[in-house]
Structure 1
């Protein structure tokens, strides 16, 4: 059971690494949201989601 959990953690980590690595695809001035280009709001949205996901993972590991 623990081995399967760590595989899932590795996959989730890999997904976030890939999402942050897609810089050429989201490094564009348009579209904008509240005056911020796509580059900034993509990272602003992704950061709290990643923090929440990894917080949940850490809480599961401590159990």
Structure 2
């Protein structure tokens, strides 16, 4: 079961590294959300989503 956990965490980690490394796509001032440029709100939204996904994977894979 530990192998599945490591594979799931590795896949999720790679997805989030990829999402964060797409800097040219979200390094913009427009669109703004609550006065924040896209560069900031994109990262603010990804942080809690990443935490929830990693929590869900670790919770579901436990025996």
- Give CA-to-partner distance per residue, 1:1-55, whole Å, 9 cap, x none: 5423422221111000110111111000001111111001101100000111122
Q: Which runs of 5+ in 2 are unaligned?
A: none
What number of residue pairs does the alignment pair up? Answer: 63
Greater RCO, 1 or 2 (C-alpha within 8 Å, sep 6+): 2
Q: Could you state the TM-score of these two structures normalised by the residue count of structure 2? A: 0.79
Q: Give the number of the structure whose residues are more often strand, by fraction.
A: 1
TM-score by length of 1: 0.79
Unaligned runs of 5+ residues in structure 1 are none
Q: Structure 1 segments of 4 or more deviating over 6 A?
A: none
RMSD (CA atoms): 1.9
